[in-house]
Amino acid sequence: MGNYSIVALPGDGIGPEITDVALRVLDRVTAALPDLTVSVASHDAGAERWRRTGTAMPEETFEACQRADAILMGAIGLPDARHPDGREVNGDVIFRLRFALDLFAGIRPVRSLPGVPDTLAGAPRIDYVVVRENVEGLYASRTGGTNVRGEVATDTIVITANGTRKVCEIAFDLAARRTGRPQDGRRVVTCVDKANVLSSYAFFRSVFDEVADAHDDIGRDHVYVDAMTAFQVQRPETFDVVVAENMFGDIISDLAAATVGGLGLAASADVGYRHGMFQPAHGSAPDIAGRDVANPTAMVLSTAMMLDWLGRRHDDQAALDAAAMIDAAALRVLERGETVTADLGGSASCSAMGEAILAALGDGTTGAAR
Ligand code: ATP
């Protein structure tokens, strides 16, 4: 019997609107599954809170996140909410949680969704996952780089054997339980780097190869990041699981989202060995906030990822079923094409999309492949 405590951080901009939808969906699905209980504690964190109080995330919220079984985050940050030294306030929440809870792997599924017009005309089915190293790489020093006399600026890339091994293991484990790449069903993990130019990336690749050697039932591939951006457009069906250093993972996962319908559909998870944080890949979208026009689908699919992660972690079929139900309901709404939000060319509101997903939960079966 799964009984989970979740901390919800609705956050800024469209965060509260899409979190509201996700929590209603979560509520509905747990009501339908007697073996699953999820209690949610919502906490106020983010740029708005920082403006009001001077603190983006109080210690009490951080500790609640530490204790929680999982964290569900809407969107944190606003472009003009910055510390006097220029750092965006969202780092006080997102980076803090990522680093302190060692959420070292960013998981971003990329798949063609039914009813969503192909961005890439005539492209075959796309179904891969980007695994991004989350706490090292070029972002490790964050704002700790140097600026010498306004003439020279440097940032240091950090690649460790341990950090690279951990994220590569996650990628191979993921490949082992997926069905393989759309092109031919082959399971293959692709390492994306720039090993031909920087020794740090050559090192990343060498550690990847060591991990790959221990998984000889799964294929391996290497692609330079510049070529990768072209292949994501030209032959996306040849990818299954892709693993990359922090900054490269950031960039290729945004490009990936654009090839399958855009940010409003892009779910993501930041996970480590003990903790998991689930949030849409997009930001707080202040340009459309407060108007009930955001697409809540990425948030709802991230909620499904959370339940799936909990289900696997705790060997809990009810949580796995809940994940599959939510995923299938969101996909059914997209496929029917009757409720379409503005980002996908329609005029349905965020709340109408939420209602449609709730209705679809009531009329379908489980079993969407995840
Ligand atoms: P961040 O740096 O915090 O990730 P960003 O600068 O990448 O944020 P987003 O907030 O992700 O920006 O928004 C980018 C664009 O995508 C905006 O025009 C925004 O309106 C749109 N967008 C983002 N999320 C959604 C959504 N859920 N529904 C509809 N449009 C969205």
When mean pLDDT is compared across 93-97, 313-317, 359-363, 365-369, the lowest value belongs to 365-369
Tokens of 209: 């190869």
Nearby residues of 182 by Cβ (< 8 Å), 6 or more positions away: 124, 125, 126, 127, 237
Residue 293, classified by CB atoms within 10 Å of its CB into exposed (0-12), middle (13-18) or buried (19+), is: buried
Q: Which of 35, 44, 173, 194 is catalytic?
A: 194
327 is catalytic: no
Query: What top-level class would CATH report for the domain 118-260?
Result: alpha beta
When mean pLDDT is compared across 138-152, 179-193, 348-362, the lowest value belongs to 138-152
166 is catalytic: no
Nearby residues of 31 by Cβ (< 8 Å), 6 or more positions away: none
The band of 364, judged by pLDDT with boundaries at 50, 70 and 90, is low
Q: Which amino acid is at 328?
A: A
CA distance 30 to 85: 45
* pLDDT for res 370: 34
Structural contact between residues 166 and 181, judged by C-beta atoms closer than 8 angstroms: no
Which residue owns the Cα nearest ligand 1 atom 25? 264
The string of pLDDT tens digits covering residues 95-119 is: 999 999 999 999 999 999 999 987 8
250 is catalytic: yes
Which residue owns the Cα nearest ligand 1 atom 19? 285
Whole-number Å distance, alpha carbon 14 to ligand 1 midpoint, is: 9
Judged against a pLDDT cut of 60, whether residue 367 lies above it is answered with: no
* pLDDT for res 368: 41
The reply to whether 1-103+268-370 and 118-260 are identical in fold is: yes
194 is catalytic: yes
What's the mean pLDDT in 166-179?
A: 98
What's the mean pLDDT in 150-179?
A: 97
Locus of tokens 């082959």: 186
Whole-number Å distance, alpha carbon 21 to ligand 1 midpoint, is: 17
Nearest atom in ligand 1 to the alpha carbon of residue 343 is: 29
Structural contact between residues 98 and 277, judged by C-beta atoms closer than 8 angstroms: yes
What's the mean pLDDT in 68-92?
A: 94
CA 273, 99, 306, 131: dihedral to nearest 10 degrees? -80
Judged against a pLDDT cut of 70, whether residue 365 lies above it is answered with: no
Domains in the chain: boundaries: 1-103+268-370, 118-260
Whole-number Å distance, alpha carbon 17 to ligand 1 midpoint, is: 14
* pLDDT for res 369: 37
Mean pLDDT of the chain: 95
Domain 1-103+268-370 belongs to what topology?
A: Isopropylmalate Dehydrogenase (3.40.718)
Ligand 1 neighbours by CB, cut-off 6 Å: 14, 77, 263-264, 282-285, 287-288, 294-295, 298, 343
Which residue owns the Cα nearest ligand 1 atom 6? 283
What's the mean pLDDT in 160-165?
A: 98
In a mutational test of the pocket of ligand 1, which residue from 76, 254, 282 has the highest number of ligand atoms less than 8 Å from its CB? 282
Query: Using alpha carbons only, how large is the chain's radius of gyration in Å?
Result: 20
Nearest atom in ligand 1 to the alpha carbon of residue 90 is: 3
Which residue owns the Cα nearest ligand 1 atom 1? 283
CA distance 324 to 316: 13
Whole-number Å distance, alpha carbon 250 to ligand 1 midpoint, is: 14
In a mutational test of the pocket of ligand 1, which residue from 263, 297, 350 has the highest number of ligand atoms less than 8 Å from its CB? 263
Q: What residues does 152 pair with on adjacent strands?
A: 148
Percent of the chain with pLDDT over 90: 91
12 is catalytic: no
The band of 13, judged by pLDDT with boundaries at 50, 70 and 90, is very high
What's the mean pLDDT in 213-238?
A: 97
What's the mean pLDDT in 251-271?
A: 96
pTM for the whole thing? 0.95
